[in-house]
Amino acid sequence: MAYNLLKGKRGIIFGALDENSIAWKVAEKAHEEGATFTLTNAPIAMRMGAINELGKKCNAEIIPADATSLEDLEKLFTQSIDTLGGKIDFVLHSIGMSPNVRKKKGYGDLNYDWFLKTLDVSALSFHKVMQVAEKMDAISEWGSVLGLSYIAAQRTFPDYSDMAQAKAVLESIARSYGYRMAKSKKIRVNTISQSPTMTTAGTGVPGFDVFFNYADKMSPLGNASAESCAEYCIMMFSDFTRMVTMQNLMHDGGFSSSGITEDIIEELTK
Ligand SMILES: NC(=O)c1ccc[n+]([C@@H]2O[C@H](COP(=O)([O-])OP(=O)(O)OC[C@H]3O[C@@H](n4cnc5c(N)ncnc54)[C@H](O)[C@@H]3O)[C@@H](O)[C@H]2O)c1
Query: 3-state SS of 127-150?
Result: HHHHHHHHHHCCEEEEEEEEEEEC
The CA–CA distances, whole Å, from 82 to 85, 86, 101, 211 equal 5, 7, 38, 43
Q: Is position 1 within any domain?
A: no
Q: Supply the range of the domain harboring residue 90.
A: 10-268
Phi-psi category of 93—alpha, beta or left, where left has phi over 0 and alpha has psi -120 to 50? beta
Prediction pTM value: 0.98
- All residues at 6 or more sequence positions from 119 whose CB lies less than 8 Å from its CB, including other chains: 162, 165, 166, 169
CA 122 to centroid of ligand 1, rounded, Å: 8
Q: Is position 110 within any domain?
A: yes
Q: Mean pLDDT for each consecutive 10-residue tract of the chain (270 residues)? A: 95 97 98 98 89 97 98 98 98 98 96 98 99 98 98 94 98 98 98 96 87 96 98 98 98 98 94
209: CATH? 3.40.50.720
Q: Which residue out of 70, 199, 208 has the highest number of ligand 1 atoms within 8 Å of its CB and is therefore the one to mutate? A: 199
**In this predicted structure, what is the pLDDT of residue 267?**
92
**In this predicted structure, what is the pLDDT of residue 205?**
85
**In this predicted structure, what is the pLDDT of residue 24?**
98
**In this predicted structure, what is the pLDDT of residue 207?**
86
How would you classify the pairing of strands 10-14 and 248-251?
A: unpaired
CA 53 to centroid of ligand 1, rounded, Å: 19
**In this predicted structure, what is the pLDDT of residue 47?**
82
Q: Is position 264 within any domain?
A: yes
**In this predicted structure, what is the pLDDT of residue 158?**
87
Instruction: Determine the longest span between alpha carbons in the chain, in angstroms.
Output: 61
Helix, strand, coil percentages in the chain from 3-state DSSP, rounded to 5:
50, 15, 35
Give yes or no for a contact between 255 and 228, defined as CB atoms under 8 angstroms apart: no
Q: How many domains does the chain have?
A: 1
Q: Is position 135 within any domain?
A: yes
Q: Is position 55 within any domain?
A: yes
Q: Is position 57 within any domain?
A: yes
